[in-house]
A and B are shown apart, each in its own frame.
Chain A
Amino acid sequence: MRKNWWKILAACMVSASVVAGFIGPVPELHILNESIRNVYFHVPMWFTMLTLYLISVINSIKYLNSGDIKHDMLAVEAVNTGIIFCAFGLLTGMQWANITWGEPWPNDPKLNGSAIATLMYLAYLVLRNALDEEQKRAKISAVYNIFAFPIMVVLLYILPKLTDSLHPGNGGNSTFGDLDMDNYMRPVFYTAVIGWILTGSWVCTLRYRLRLLENKANKIQ
């Protein structure tokens, strides 16, 4: 129970944010209208993805320092889970963009940036497939992972700020926080973010443990 409390917390927080997100009051805004509720679902996906990628990079660094294959396993599972959350983020975002901006894929630096970041992590997985030897695969993919991460941060968080963007908080737009969220939305939003981050880490640890078991089973044979 002591180890599982955060999983229960994650489930509670996500369900609470879903209930409060659909039922709770939202400010009436031009264009956004009721679709502002998507902020409880779309934004947490990206936060979760970034957290998972961060976990992956930290584990890659740990792997290079220690040479312990477990760190490499955690790194690759974090990327696997992160890509799923990235896909969810893109799907929710496309739906939202279709309603508010008129098309599912407007030419926006943040959208293109996230697509390219996805390519980067898919390339990481392809690189892993190209290498057969376990130690070598772990080392080289860890190097690529660390190499790609700062460039992804530049891509997703620095470049959009320099150019015109449809997203809030970019290109001189004010952030969602100062403008549109009222005091009711804020706690729900933070609950959703923490809940989804915990859920993401949970999925990641499940996959990691499964991989550990597979590894163990392979060794006995």
Chain B
Amino acid sequence: MSLLKEVKTLVHKDLILEWRSKHAINSIFLYVVSTVFVCYQAFKTVDNALMWNALFWIILLFASINAISRSFVQESQYRQLYYYSITGPKAIILSKIIYNTILMVLLSIIAYFTYSVIFKNPVGDALLYFVAVLLGSISFATVFTMVSGISSKTGNNSTIMAILAFPVIIPLLIVLIKLSNNALQGLDRGISYGEIAVLLAINVITITISLLLFPYLWRD
């Protein structure tokens, strides 16, 4: 029970900090909109549904890497020490995952809407596509949170973050692109259950491993 309470407090703290400065959400919003606009200037129109899908996931991937790579950096050394004295590592990593998930869900909804407004939306099964976007943002959050925890120990090198994160995220991205392609073409939903199950399973595995490994990573 105390773990849940700690997590709740930490998430609350992160949200309040974010609400005061609105730094992350504004910069991400600007990042997404300007990337979509750059793509619009480069492509003008995207007629091919496959390419529409691929472009969307690439934009979302880079936006989320930028958003999450800062999640441990913004905490100063002294604040980390303070957390160390009052909570456990499990509460910290869980709260970070939850906070990043909230952030990513918000970010992907913004990205989806701006993208659909600027490029003509060819989605056949809107609900399933939305589920894919939600699952994608949750998966990005769970994987990148742990990777950013690892990369923050290397002196916050952003290259390291990209190198470590891309190979790990590609399997998820393959499943996500397949699922969203099914949604795009409006195929029968029964076909996509397998992919959704795989995504959920990978998320459960990642969260479990993060919980197991973060205590080792944290102690410095």
**A interface residues (Cβ-Cβ under 8 A, vs B):** 64, 109, 113, 116-117, 119-120, 123, 126-127, 130-131, 136, 139-140, 142-144, 146-148, 150-151, 154-155, 158-159, 162-163
Map CB proximity to A onto B185-206 as digits: 1 under 8 Å, 0 otherwise: 0000000001100100010011
Closest to A126 in B: B163
User: Is B78 close to A, CB under 8 A?
Assistant: no
Which segment of B10-18, B19-27, B110-118, B169-177 sits at the interface? B169-177
Query: Do the beta carbons of B171 and A140 come within 8 Å of each other?
Result: no
B207 → chain A, closest Cβ, in Å?
12
B73 at the interface (CB under 8 A from A): no
Contacts A127-B160, A144-B164 given; does A150 touch B171 at CB 8 Å: no
Chain B contact residues, CB within 8 Å of chain A: 146-147, 150, 153-155, 157, 160, 163-164, 166-168, 170-171, 174-175, 178, 194-195, 198, 202, 205-206, 209-210, 213, 216-217, 220
Contact among A120, A131, A147, A159 for B209, CB-based, below 8 A: A147
Contact residues in B for A139 (Cβ distance below 8 Å) = 216-217
Give chain B nearest CB distance to A82 CB in angstroms: 15
A148–B168 touching, CB < 8 Å: yes
Q: Which of A119, A130, A150 contacts B154 (CB 8 A)?
A: A130
Q: Given A127-B164, A158-B198, A159-B174, do A143 and B154 touch, yes or no (CB 8 Å)?
A: no
B160 touches A151 (CB 8 A): no
User: How far does the alpha carbon of A107 sit from the alpha carbon of B188 in the complex, in Å?
Assistant: 26
Chain A contacts for B163, CB-based, 8 A:
123, 126-127
Using Cβ atoms and an 8 Å threshold, which residues of chain B touch A119?
Answer: 166-167
Cα–Cα distance between A211 and B52 once the two chains are bound (Å):
50
Q: How far is the CB of A18 from chain B (nearest CB, A)?
A: 34
Known: A130-B160, A140-B154. A120 touches B194 (CB 8 A): no
Instruction: Give Cα distance in the complex from A102 to B216, angstroms.
Output: 48
B154 near A151 with CB under 8 A, answer: no
Contact with A143, one of B155, B213, B220 (Cβ below 8 angstroms) = B213
C-alpha spacing A163/B174, complex, angstroms: 10
Q: A158-B198, A162-B198 known; A140 and B150 CB under 8 Å?
A: yes
**B152 to chain A: closest residue by CB:** A140
Number of A-B contacts (CB under 8 A): 76
Cβ of A108 to closest chain B Cβ, rounded Å: 13
Do A162 and B167 touch across chains, with their CB atoms under 8 A apart? no
Residues from chain A with Cβ under 8 Å of B168 in the complex: 120, 147-148, 151
* In contact, B150 and A147 (Cβ under 8 angstroms): yes
Provide the residues of chain A in CB contact with B216, threshold 8 Å. 64, 139, 142-143
Question: In the complex, what's the smallest C-beta–C-beta distance from B142 to chain A, in angstroms?
Answer: 11
A146 touches B209 (CB 8 A): yes
Sample of 6 further A-B pairs with CB below 8 A, known A140-B217, A146-B209, A146-B213: A126-B160, A130-B155, A136-B220, A143-B213, A147-B150, A151-B171
Residues from chain A with a CB closer than 8 A to the CB of B178 are 163
Shortest Cβ distance from B213 into A: residue: A143
A140 adjacent to B213 (CB under 8 Å): no
> Given that A127-B164, A159-B175 are known contacts, is A147 also in contact with B146, CB under 8 Å in the complex?
yes
A144 in contact with B150 (CB, 8 Å): yes
CA distance A147 to B220 in the complex (A): 19
Contacts of B209 in A (CB 8 A): 146-147, 150
Choose one: B157, B167, B217; the contact of A130 (CB below 8 Å): B157
The answer to whether A151 and B202 touch (CB under 8 A), given A120-B168, A127-B160, is yes
A143, B164: Cα distance in complex, Å: 12
Kindly provide the distance from the CB of A206 to the nearest chain B CB, expressed in whole angstroms: 28
